[in-house]
Amino acid sequence: MERFAEWKRIIWAVALAEAHGAELEAWMVWEGWTMGIGCRECGQHGRMAECWGAQHCHGYLRGCGCWLCQELDRALEDEFAEPLGPQEDAGGDGRAMS
């Protein structure tokens, strides 16, 4: 599984670098990236983003792709998930489940 994650990071890093006419840099293949390289600002603004080149969390609200933000995202999803009640249509056929 770790090998897959390593190759995934390399593919993402190459795509980010190519999209912004940059060379592949060490921070782009940091093992802490799990959902993407850098953040939305890096993806949109490239080298002009103030966080470009930072090999650490870029901030959850910026759409950071690091493991810490992934864990926070999962925790928030769990916290705010609403369980299906017996009266809700979980079967998709218009009938209440019980």
Q: How far apart are CA 16 and CA 23, in angstroms?
A: 9
Residue 96 belongs to some domain of the structure: no
Confidence of residue 87 (pLDDT cuts 50, 70, 90): low
- The HSE-up count of residue 3 (CA atoms within 13 Å, CB side) is 0
Contact indicator for 17, 25 with CB cutoff of 8 Å: yes
Residue 9 belongs to some domain of the structure: yes
Q: How far is CA 65 from CA 51, 57, 70, 71, 87, in A?
A: 13, 8, 7, 10, 37
User: Residue 3 pLDDT > 90, yes or no?
Assistant: no
Residue 70 belongs to some domain of the structure: yes
Number of domains in the chain: 1
**pLDDT tens per residue, range 12-60:** 999 999 999 999 999 999 999 999 999 999 999 999 999 999 999 999 9
* Enclosing domain of residue 73: 2-80
24 backbone dihedrals φ, ψ, rounded to 5°: -65, 125
Residue 97 belongs to some domain of the structure: no
User: Which residues does residue 66 pair with via DSSP β-bridges, in sequence order?
Assistant: 33
**pLDDT tens per residue, range 61-85:** 999 999 999 999 999 988 887 765 5
